[in-house]
């Protein structure tokens, strides 16, 4: 049984936790906003660099990588928002963020430079995330795969 001092301590911890999550949301929102502005500047710079309106392949890879980085930030904001509202971290959103991060890694990676075992590890990680995502969706639908 909790005493009144314990109730006060738990209430104080909950308030501090909420304050920290609000601070994280604010800081992440600023970072995502600034990253979006930087992405826009990067696109304009690539478009205006001669030859105009033609983006070189390396520039496209950089833009796509940065785009996915901003998307990861947006998904993290969604995760924090869900945590604030329901005090639950949704597994699906975390898996989506991880898959987006791995897609970003694949897009910006130089396959000639990265060792083969590292590429195999990345492939295995993507496969594991995809399987986890599949099972999470099946569980949400109420479908349990038979063994």
The answer to whether residue 86 sits within a structural domain is: yes
- Is residue 121 a part of any domain in this protein? yes
Residue 1 exposure: Cα atoms within 13 Å on the Cβ side: 2
- 74 within domain boundaries: yes
Length of the chain: 147
- Smallest CA-to-CA distance from 72 within 100, 40, 47, 30 is with 100
The string of pLDDT tens digits covering residues 16-75 is 998 999 999 999 999 999 999 999 999 999 999 888 888 988 899 899 999 999 999 999
The answer to the question of residue 46 being in a domain is: yes
Within-domain flag for 146: no
Count up the domains in the chain and report the number.
1
Provide the mean pLDDT of the chain: 89
Residue 143 pLDDT more than 80? Answer: no
The pLDDT score that the predictor gives to residue 141 is: 83
Q: What count of Cα atoms within 13 Å lies in the side-chain half-sphere of residue 137? A: 8
Residue 43 lies in a domain: yes
Q: Using 50, 70 and 90 to split pLDDT, how confident is the model at 88? A: confident
> What pLDDT sits at residue 83?
85
Q: Which residue is it, tokens 């030859």?
A: 51
The whole-number average pLDDT for the span 121-139 is 93
Domain hosting 121: range is: 4-141
């Amino acid at each position: 049984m909790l005493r009144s001092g314990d109730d006060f301590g738990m209430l104080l911890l909950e308030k501090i936790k909420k304050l920290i999550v609000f601070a994280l949301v604010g800081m992440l929102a600023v970072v995502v906003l600034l990253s979006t502005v930087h992405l826009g500047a990067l696109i304009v710079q690539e478009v205006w660099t001669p030859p105009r309106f033609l983006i070189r392949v390396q520039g496209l890879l950089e833009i796509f990588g940065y785009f996915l980085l901003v998307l990861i930030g947006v998904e993290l904001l969604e995760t924090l928002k869900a945590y604030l509202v329901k005090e639950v971290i949704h597994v699906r959103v975390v898996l989506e963020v991880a898959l987006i991060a791995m897609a970003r890694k694949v897009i910006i990676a130089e396959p000639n430079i990265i060792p083969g075992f590292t590429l195999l590890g990345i492939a295995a990680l993507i496969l594991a995330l995809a399987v986890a995502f599949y099972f999470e969706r099946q569980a949400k639908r109420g479908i349990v795969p038979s063994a």
